Structure 1
Amino acid sequence: MTAPITGPITGPITGPITGPAIAMLHTVPALAAPLAVLAAEVRPSARIMHFADESLLQDTIANDGPPPHVLRRLVSYAMYAKESGAGTLLVTCSSIGEAAERARPLAELPILRIDEPMAEEAVRAGDRIGVLATLATTLGPTTRLVRRAATRREAPREIVPHLCDGAFEALRGGDPARHDALVLEGFGRLARQVDVVVLAQASMAGIVTRADGGVPVLSSPRSGVAQLA
């Protein structure tokens, strides 16, 4: 298990610290810095704690979904976050999002999924919703999340999933340019079929400004962090 990363990551907090701290659980450590910047915008006086555990994602991929020990470890992180003064735990990995939901009744602080607001926004944005992912273990959970959001709103929606084969492997292998190229290629195909495209993983958000398919493109970081306000 990767050792937890704790403490503010983007420099000193300006002004007095007010209210409980915010904890974030990452399976991709590189997400900590950009999400800390977003958190500082919505809660400028909050202390931010980061927990990074790549094994949660690795074990989820190996088991085609979160195995029981991932749920147990997630609950442990929630307990540690509360003991460290956090009032909320934001889970930033969509692949373990459903495990985060199952952990909620077992935790003593709110556990938020970073992608829930994005799913709600997608349902409002169009009748045909494309879900783009680089991991099968994320594509399924995000598709189900959007479908549940549509059901809650009693809004019939068609969901079109698309997996960008090879993109995650390229990113893991140190080739972000190849990752982005494959994601943009998948986006181009999907955008022709739908009214709105959802990027299933926070790590895909970097392509938003380069995706030009004539349809809205939704990513989870900004709307997900906005929940912390």
Structure 2
Amino acid sequence: MTLALLHTSPVHVPVFDALRDTDHPHIALRHAVREDLLAGAVAAGPEAVAACVAAVVAELAAEGAAAVLCTCSTIGAAAEAAGAACGVPVLRVDRPMAAAAVRAGRVTVLATLAATLAPTRALLAEEAEAAGLPGADVRTVLVEGAWERFAAGDHDGCLDLVAAAVDAVTEADVIVLAQGSMAAATGRTTTVLPVLSSPRPGLTAAVAMATATRGAR
């Protein structure tokens, strides 16, 4: 059984391979890396790349993927919509994290890319509504300078800035790291607040989705 992963950066490939090896060794992963999709979404909005996202999802489905996990928060909604259109289950990686966050109370979202904030807020509102918790208290923080370091290949510098921003949060019940590329910052923080990241719960949920889909066929 194959689970396809749609990435917008190659840095995610080894992260998810390692999680698969640890947690789900029976699953085969197929990685599709499309950096152009994030670039287009940043330049003109996620809607501008929706057709391209749909084409990639359809291609992965045609190649036999049991399900698709989109690891980019910015284009996650477009990927899920594409899955509904072509008949393959698609999960955005941050959905399980968002579902857990809204049940915790006051949420502070950290992102390194401004284009990620609106999609993440929309997802949290959707999950809060589904949980019967409309009007959830969600605050957002853009970690200044972190994306520039990430884009330049200074991943350690990016993670240090994210960790410092996490430790500066006080008025929250839970902290959400909006992008999968931020996950490793959790090991550099000193906060006592819970910090949620998306790769592990997202992969676990996608594997369950793929397994259920394959079993139903």
Question: Structure 1 length normalisation: TM-score?
Answer: 0.85
Once the two structures are TM-superposed, the CA of residue 33 in structure 1 deviates from its matched residue by 1.3
SS of the residue 1:94 aligns to: coil
Distance in 2, matches of 1:74 and 1:120, equals 24
CA distance in 2, matches of 1:37, 1:109: 25
Q: Secondary structure at the match of 1:157?
A: coil
**Quick one: distance in 1 between partners of 2:88 and 2:73?**
19
Q: Does 1:169 align with 2:148?
A: yes
Residues 46-195 of structure 1: pairs in structure 2 closer than 5 A: 46-63=27-44, 65-68=45-48, 70-125=49-104, 127-155=105-133, 156-189=135-168, 191-195=169-173
**What is the 5 A alignment of 1:8-27?**
20-27=1-8
**Residue identity opposite 2:110 in structure 1:** L
CA contact (8 A) 2:163 2:186 kept: no
- Work out the CA distance in 2 between the residues paired with 1:33 and 1:197: 25
The number of equivalent residue pairs is 206
In structure 2, what is the Cα distance between the partners aligned to 1:39 and 1:72?
A: 29
**What is the distance in 2 between the residues matched to 1:216 and 1:153?**
20
**2:194 corresponds to 1:198:** no
Runs of 5+ unmatched residues, structure 2 = 209-217
Q: Residue 194 of structure 1: SS of its match in structure 2?
A: coil
Quick check: 1:59–1:67 contact (8 Å CA) kept in 2?
no
Contact 1:27 1:53 in 2 (8 A): yes
Q: How far apart are the structure 1 equivalents of 2:91 and 2:109? A: 20
User: Is 1:224–2:202 an aligned residue pair?
Assistant: yes
Q: Counterparts of 2:16 and 2:159 in 1: how far apart (Å)? A: 20
In 2, the alpha carbon distance for the partners of 1:96 and 1:151 equals: 21
How much has 1:118 moved relative to structure 2?
0.1
- Which gives a bigger RCO, structure 1 or 2 (Cα 8 Å, sep 6+)? 2
CA contact (8 A) 2:54 2:78 kept: no
Q: Distance in 1 between matches of 2:155 and 2:28?
A: 31
RMSD over aligned Cα atoms: 1.4
Q: Is contact 1:199–1:205 with CA below 8 Å preserved after alignment?
A: yes
TM-score by length of 2: 0.89
Deviation for aligned residue 1:183:
1.1
Question: Displacement of 1:166 after TM fit?
Answer: 1.2
Structure 1 residue 44, shift from structure 2 partner: 2.2
Asked if the contact 2:3/2:66 (under 8 Å) is kept, the reply is yes
**Identity rate of aligned residues, in percent?**
38
Conservation of the 8 A alpha-carbon contact between 2:175 and 2:196? yes
| Amino acid corresponding to residue 66 of structure 1 in structure 2 | P
Tell whether 2:15 aligns with 1:34. Answer: yes
1:103 and 1:40 mapped to 2: Cα distance? 28
Higher helix share: 2
- Secondary structure in structure 2 of the residue aligned to 1:86: coil
Q: Which 10-residue stretch deviates more, 38-47 or 54-63?
A: 38-47
